[in-house]
Amino acid sequence: MLKTISLALAATAALGALAVAARHQPDVTATFRQDAPPVPLGKMAPDFSVKTLDGKTVKLSSMRGKPVFLDFWATWCGPCRMALPHTQELAVKNKSKISVLAISDEDVPTIKGFMKENKYSFPSYRDADHSAATKYKVAGIPCSVVIDKNGKLVSYIVGYDPDGVKAALAKVGIN
């Protein structure tokens, strides 16, 4: 009887420890949920302005005429780190066909250091006031958005989903 009680107490303690640990860990499953886009697919994508790492303002609407790929990311985000090589490949391989905006809210030295360390050359922008992320209802990162050449929302993907991004890019003629 004492052995059964001891095992039950040990199991309860272990479950309690797991519960405490889980509260302090990020919800990795949340990075794979499909969140609602900021507007219905096929509607005009919300306009916003972000800053280049040199401080120049860039407005999304100024990029009409070719598709746009938005990549909301952060240096500390594991799934973002898995997705960024794909963003790099997209930016290099399709430079003349699509505008890439990799958007982070981190400080400029952090972004620049990360870009240099990883030899990334894609355009990175800063959303210091979270206005772009707010307009796009970014609740989890990475968040990939594909907009067609006319400014209409084609795809909105939360989490690391290279196949989903590839399919979304195909819809705007990027293979």
Catalytic residues: 77, 80
Q: What stretch of H or E contains 124? A: strand 124-126
The DSSP letter of residue 150 is: T
CA distance 163 to 158: 13
- CA–CA distance, 60 with 46 (Å, rounded to integer): 8
Report residue 59 CA to chain centroid gap: 19
- Rounded to whole angstroms, how far apart are CA atoms 7 and 23? 24
Closest by Cα among 134, 123, 140 to 51: 123
Residues in CB range of 37: below 8 A, 6 or more apart: 136, 137, 145, 153, 156
Contact 106, 75 (CB under 8 A): yes
